[in-house]
Chain A
Amino acid sequence: MPGGQAIQVDGLRVAFGDFVAIPGLSFIARYGEIHGVIGPNGAGKTTLLDVITGKTRPKGGKVLLDGRIDLLRLSEPEIALAGVGRKFQKPSVFDALSVRENLELALRLEPRSIRAEVLRWGDARRAGRVAEVLAEIGLASVAERLAGTLAHGQKQWLEIGMLLMQRPRLLMLDEPVAGMTEQETAHTADLVRRLKAPDRAVLVIEHDMAFVEEIADRVTVLHEGAPIFEGGMAAARANDRVREVYLGR
């Protein structure tokens, strides 16, 4: 499985009315890798995530999970259940639920039916898994607090924890360190590295070059909805075209 195609995007075209956000994008992320996607504002990064998670419907192209599941035919919940997890740019946790409840919600033991899920909520596996993840994201001490009362960084980690509960095959992080202190960024980098698994592809969308360099095995540079570079971060820094459009003259 490592090295296999987790997500394959082919000839993707996205337009909002007359505005073409992505004219034609092809792109592959592989299992076992952390894949950074960078690019200036308006490069189409968030739009790409919106398409993969089913939030935005493209005008054309193909998006295959695991080389066989056509994500464009599925609804948002179905895509999530198929193994795609997403962390939003602005921390999205359920403010009025406790940290524990947030994590509990993220685990789907009965993907086929919410009713079955609710009826088997007390399953021991859920409690066990929640305890594991609480420890992993370092929020065990605040497990009973309402998520809305957490600090910004803690919310980000909680959201990553929720993704861990999901055990996604494709994990997509949208600017996970935006607005974080240096310490929090370091903790997050640590968390993201731990997300890496042989049967999982991690897609990180980020502005922070240093952060991407620290965690990513491979980067793709987007510009106006099209990839202009793919490879290692060091090579990206050296690439003339990349320097031109992104790093500045």
Chain B
Amino acid sequence: MARRFAAILSLLCLLVPGGAAALDRAAILTEICSGDFRAQQTALESLAGAGAEAGREGALWARAVVQGFEGRDLRCGADAAFIDRSDGLVSAETLEPASPGGDLSAPSVNLRLRATAASAGFVLALFTEESAEARLRAAGRLDRRREAVSAAVLTAALETETDPAVAQAIGDIRTSLLLRDADPARRAEAIAAIAADATLRNRTTIAEALANEPDPAVQAAGKAALAEIDRTLAIGNALATLYSGASYASVLVLAALGLAIIFGLMGVINLAQGELIMVGAYATWFTQEAIRIVLPAALDWYLFIAIPVSFAAAALVGIAIEATVIRRLYDRPLMTLLATWAISLLLINAVRVGIGTQNLEFHQPGYVSGGFPVVGDFIMTSNRLFAIAIAAAAFFAVLALIRFTTLGMNMRAVTQNRAMAGAAGVDTRQTDRLAFGLGSGLAGLAGLALSPLYNVNPTMGTGFIVDSFMVVVLGGVGSLAGAVVAAFGIGQINVAIEPVYGAVAAKVIVLLLVILFIQRRPEGLFAPKGRR
């Protein structure tokens, strides 16, 4: 942004010679009253530039004069001018009440002067109107009445403008002004200035300008600028793809980490993992609703308050599943597939009947809406950043938990050799249960992380289980680092192939890759080393 302004400012210094001159109110009024159309024209143009040269105060004055001129309320005396207001005359120079000495006459007006005055009025409205809506209206009118507007004054208006929509409108007018300058050198410079901000929108603007460009030098410069923009756009698009892949991957990581921990420990694939994601998302929603009632002021922070809630909700459901069903099935892994599928069916339909099938509405606080423009059209959106941050934090927390806590040590021991760990005094039952809770809780966090990103409804989890399992297969059972690498690989492949060949092709290719891959490495990317 800053670079763009700098470029345009330097350009404007060339375009508007002597733009920094102070506003000489008396001289302007004299010119308006002179009766010479050319002098009057110049005066109106100076008034239009008042906002740029004399700030808001100057603009307010200039607007009063212009309105007086337009409304035929301006009165010219011998050596001073006045404005005829309903409550009496005021001095046109100071806007203070005044009494004229001598004859007064309205200045002469022709059609062209009237148009210039209207244009100047709109320009000045940009500097003086309080409401953004009024400024936007003024900008819209200004686009059709350009008689009194210059690029320099629009730049000044942009500097003080706070509303993005108005700024956008002003910027567009300025751009087209610059591109239509009579001097080819200035047009080329304008193109260069626009090209400094490489967005698809600016690319279109330049391309349109080039279509009617007669000057070969400007043509060449424009082509070069387009090529440069294309390069930047390509980088931006690549980064945007990577970024959206990374955010999908982080949801996958959370779901797959849980799956990998449970599978590594107990040889159980939890087909209800997708529904635990759903439980986490619903827990997030309930947290939001509870805060809305109890503590509306803290509503914006509900996503953070929901972190422990969504984890705990999914973990509790997971522990309940383990205690009632999985516990009975440790030696029958194929049956656990059916059992956990049945549980997922129960959860989906319980939510469907109990809460409904509609997508839940989530409040989007500032930290998950909008984003940071990075390069080209690539905007680092906050909702995706939020998902990535949650996944990264959870991953390192799990890593620490496994490395440094007793539960982690027990989990590692049981994963390697259940019988031996049991003989060595590890409570394998409790370890299983807690690990199942941990794995389920991670799915709950996935639900939280994706709630600002995806639709939340009873069947939201079904799409994730296949991808999550592919991550576990690719990454290697019980390998956390493998799960992360595989999740990012699959996430990236998905988003990279999708725009080109479609979502279905992406899924087909991922599946084929996984099948081919396990031909060569049945143990996955990062198989745990050791005797099996």
Contact = CB atoms under 8 A, between A and B. Distances in A.
A40 to B, nearest CB: 16
B529 A21 contact: no
B530 interface: yes
A17 interface: yes
Contacts of A17: 529-530
Contacts of A16: 529-531
A18 B530 CA distance: 8
Interface in A29-74: 47
A100 to B, nearest CB: 27
Contacts of A18: 529
Interface in A6-28: 16-19, 21
Interface residues of A, number: 6
Contacts of B531: 16, 21, 47
A21 B529 CA distance: 12
Contacts of A47: 531
A49 to B, nearest CB: 13
Interface in B498-532: 529-531
Nearest to B529: A17
A21 B531 CA distance: 9
Looking at A16, A18, A19, A21, the one whose CB has the most chain B CB atoms below 10 A away is A16
Contacts of B530: 16-17, 19
Nearest to B532: A16
Question: Could you say which interface size class chain B belongs to?
Answer: under 10
Nearest to B530: A16
Contacts of A19: 529-530
A208 to B, nearest CB: 20
Interface string B110-134: 0000000000000000000000000
A205 to B, nearest CB: 16
A16 B530 CA distance: 5
Nearest to A17: B529
Nearest to B527: A17
Interface in B330-382: none
Contacts of B529: 16-19
Nearest to A50: B531
B420 to A, nearest CB: 11
A76 B531 CA distance: 18
A36 to B, nearest CB: 23
Nearest to A18: B529
B520 to A, nearest CB: 14
A98 B223 CA distance: 84
A142 to B, nearest CB: 26
A42 to B, nearest CB: 10
A19 B531 CA distance: 9
A18 B528 CA distance: 11
Nearest to B528: A17
Nearest to A21: B531
A45 B531 CA distance: 13
A17 B526 CA distance: 11
A170 B408 CA distance: 44
A23 B529 CA distance: 17
A59 to B, nearest CB: 13
A18 B529 CA distance: 8
B416 to A, nearest CB: 12
Interface in A168-183: none
B418 to A, nearest CB: 15
A75 B531 CA distance: 19
A19 B416 CA distance: 14
A151 B381 CA distance: 67
A16 B523 CA distance: 13
Nearest to B531: A16
A58 to B, nearest CB: 14
A97 to B, nearest CB: 20
Nearest to A56: B531
Nearest to A46: B531
B526 to A, nearest CB: 11
A19 B529 CA distance: 8
Contacts of A21: 531
B425 to A, nearest CB: 18
A112 B529 CA distance: 36
Interface string B299-316: 000000000000000000
A216 B523 CA distance: 39
Interface string A81-123: 0000000000000000000000000000000000000000000
B381 to A, nearest CB: 41
B419 to A, nearest CB: 11
Interface in A157-214: none
A126 B530 CA distance: 41
B479 to A, nearest CB: 12
A19 B530 CA distance: 7
Nearest to A14: B531
A16 B416 CA distance: 13
Interface in A215-246: none
B165 to A, nearest CB: 60
Nearest to A15: B529
A222 to B, nearest CB: 16
A17 B530 CA distance: 7
B334 to A, nearest CB: 16
A117 B485 CA distance: 47
B531 to A, nearest CB: 6
A17 B532 CA distance: 12
Nearest to A47: B531
A47 B532 CA distance: 11
A48 to B, nearest CB: 13
A85 B529 CA distance: 28
A80 to B, nearest CB: 21
A16 B528 CA distance: 10
A43 B428 CA distance: 27
B105 to A, nearest CB: 101
Interface string A140-159: 00000000000000000000
A197 to B, nearest CB: 33
Q: Which 3 A-B pairs have the closest CB atoms?
A: A17-B529, A16-B530, A16-B529
Interface of A: 16-19, 21, 47
10 contacts: A16-B529, A16-B530, A16-B531, A17-B529, A17-B530, A18-B529, A19-B529, A19-B530, A21-B531, A47-B531
Given A16-B530, A21-B531, 8 more contacts: A16-B529, A16-B531, A17-B529, A17-B530, A18-B529, A19-B529, A19-B530, A47-B531
